[in-house]
Amino acid sequence: MKEFPVSNRLILVIDNEIDSRRYITDILRDEGYDVRDAEDAATALRAIRENPPGLIILDLALTDTEPDRLIRTITNKHPDVDIILSTRQRQAPKQALNPDVSDYIEKPIDPTELLTKIRSLDLRYEFYTRFQFIGKNEKLIAAMESVIQVAPTQIQVLITGESGTGKEVIAQALHAYSDRSDGPFIAVNSSAIAEGVLESELFGHEKGAFTDAKKRREGYFEQAGGGTIFLDELGEMPLATQVKLLRVLEQQEFMRVGGSAPIKIDVRIVAATNKDLHQAIREGT
């Protein structure tokens, strides 16, 4: 999977146990993170006012405030901050159910576990920032985690959803987090191309293949070589073209219109539709 640099977000460690606080800050500074620490809620709130952090590690054993109240105070002013709770409980604390809490970790803290949790949140933050997603909606987080899991594989992907729900953004993210990110990303709206020229646009054509074919032309699949092609509105594609697309999916090869020899390609296909394809298959449409 692609490696991403350490986030430049400020991390604030809030813990009234001095040894625990130093232990956590040392771990993070050794990894290159910008870290501040606070021994109580009052110091923490002052630090947040002066320099808002992007991530907070909050110990539940603070003695000068109720953790729920502190979480509420922080997130009311900084709703996008990530909060990891630290606890000596041997079960998930009730505060972990708070939608404003990103995760929790048990004490004594294992450095590898802590860094894994922080890097996961860093990746989510980088994803949200790059693709301009807002909020902590559970469905959005699930979609993001699926993208990050699937992106580094060679799996071909079908994205379903209503129009305007960000399917192309998801396709761009799949490309950006893959090993193909240095290659081209070609987006094709299947419904916007006339049926008579769609195959020529997708697969290219040879000189003389039809009346206006005065020279050979590479199609979108060749242009996307080494990268990703995004086929939007797949459900609007003519069935005859879908059959030819199946050959590309199965064999990674196609023929230009008017051509006689198959052309091998190295391209990842990401498709999207707002149709219920299972229903369309049942209806033969």
Which helix (DSSP H) or strand (DSSP E) does residue 43 occupy? helix 41-50
Classify the C-alpha dihedral 257-221-192-214 as positive or negative.
Answer: negative
In tens, the pLDDT along 4-45 reads: 566 889 999 999 999 999 999 999 999 999 999 999 999 999
CA 223 vs CA 65, 88, 98, 204, 227: distances in Å = 60, 56, 47, 10, 9
Q: What is the pTM of this model?
A: 0.75
Backbone angles phi, psi at 264, to 5 degrees: -80, 140
In tens, the pLDDT along 53-64 reads: 999 999 999 989
pLDDT at residue 130, as a whole number? 83
pLDDT beneath 70: ranges in the chain = 1-6, 134-136, 277-285
Classify the C-alpha dihedral 239-243-244-249 as positive or negative.
Answer: positive
CA 37 vs CA 10, 51, 56, 199, 251: distances in Å = 11, 12, 10, 61, 56
**Beta carbons of 152 and 3 less than 8 angstroms apart:** no
Residue 229: helix, strand or coil by DSSP? strand
Name which of 92, 269, 60 is nearest 185 in CA terms: 269
Domains in the chain, ordered, with CATH? 10-136 (3.40.50.2300), 148-283 (3.40.50.300)
